Amino acid sequence: MTSETPRRRPRGRGRRRLSRAGRLLAALLLVGGLYTAFAPGLAAQDTPLSPTAAEGKALYDVSCITCHGRNAQGVEGRGPSLIGVGEAAVEFQVGTGRMPMARQEAQAPDKPPLWEGEELERNTAALAAYIQELGGGPEMPPGTNLSAGGDPGIGGELYRINCSSCHAYSGGGGALSSGAYAPGLGEATDREIWAAMVSGPQNMPVFGDNQLTPQEKADVIAFINYLQDDGDPGGVFTLGRLGPSTEGVAIFLVGITALLFASLWIAGKS
């Protein structure tokens, strides 16, 4: 299970509208960045930021500051402090479009990110650098293939004891309390899975490197990749891999319905 191809899948929903929004944002960012650069007293860091982080701060002050507050200190009732969440959290939350959130609710759903393509990567990296330099926290390994050397057998066991209770055996995700849910993993990339494990986004618990070593994380990711690719040897239709509930619907919608028509045909006089 060591495919060397990059596992990131392009997200292409509403591309055009987004790119327009992106251009607008870029313009805003430029203005904001210029303002930040020239406005005195705003840069309150003790240590100077690296250029990437400075770029990230500019983005932050435009897109994130409303909820997470100045210098990522958090705003009571709106958004938590980002001190110590690390670059992994930024990569996950911004990269999957969960942040910025549309509104406060039980779940931060993934949606098309603010930017796309290289712009997304660059801006996410900038924001990540800013948050990382601001308060430290879990870091991300380089590269897109993080399952290299992972054993899906071991990963499966770790997955079932740690992950399946929320994300389901088949990686389909599931409902949590009061409207929250664990998302499906069918589209998740290696980096997203890794980032989620180390940062514990939303209600997901944190799986630090002491608990799941980097090797074990690779195992888990190898297993999830296996789940995504196992090819469903049992048929063309997987019924969402949801198990007995959709199977029960299918037996009535397909099986019983087909046989009702057959009965009508057989017993029909003509």
Cα–Cα distance for residue pair 26/107, rounded to 1 Å: 28
Please give the structure tokens belonging to residue 10. Answer: 């392009």
| 106, 203 contact by CB (below 8 A) | no
The minimum distance between CB 92 and other proteins, in angstroms, equals 15
Instruction: Work out whether 252 is an interface residue with other proteins (CB under 8 A).
Output: yes
The minimum distance between CB 59 and other proteins, in angstroms, equals 25
| Alpha-carbon dihedral sign for residues 157, 163, 167, 172 | negative
| 233, 168 contact by CB (below 8 A) | no
Cα–Cα distance for residue pair 218/147, rounded to 1 Å: 4
Instruction: Work out whether 172 is an interface residue with other proteins (CB under 8 A).
Output: yes
Instruction: Work out whether 60 is an interface residue with other proteins (CB under 8 A).
Output: no
Instruction: Work out whether 54 is an interface residue with other proteins (CB under 8 A).
Output: no
Instruction: Work out whether 237 is an interface residue with other proteins (CB under 8 A).
Output: yes
**Residue 52 or 202 having the CB closest to other proteins:** 202
Judged by CB under 8 A, the chain residues 190 through 209 that form the site for other proteins are: 200, 202-208
Residue type, 122: R
Three-state SS annotation for 162-182 = HCHHHHCCCCCCEECHHHCEE
Q: Find the binder of other proteins among 48, 136, 153, 214 (CB under 8 A).
A: 153
Q: Find the binder of other proteins among 18, 113, 152, 189 (CB under 8 A).
A: 152
Instruction: Work out whether 102 is an interface residue with other proteins (CB under 8 A).
Output: no
Instruction: Work out whether 81 is an interface residue with other proteins (CB under 8 A).
Output: no
Instruction: Work out whether 236 is an interface residue with other proteins (CB under 8 A).
Output: yes
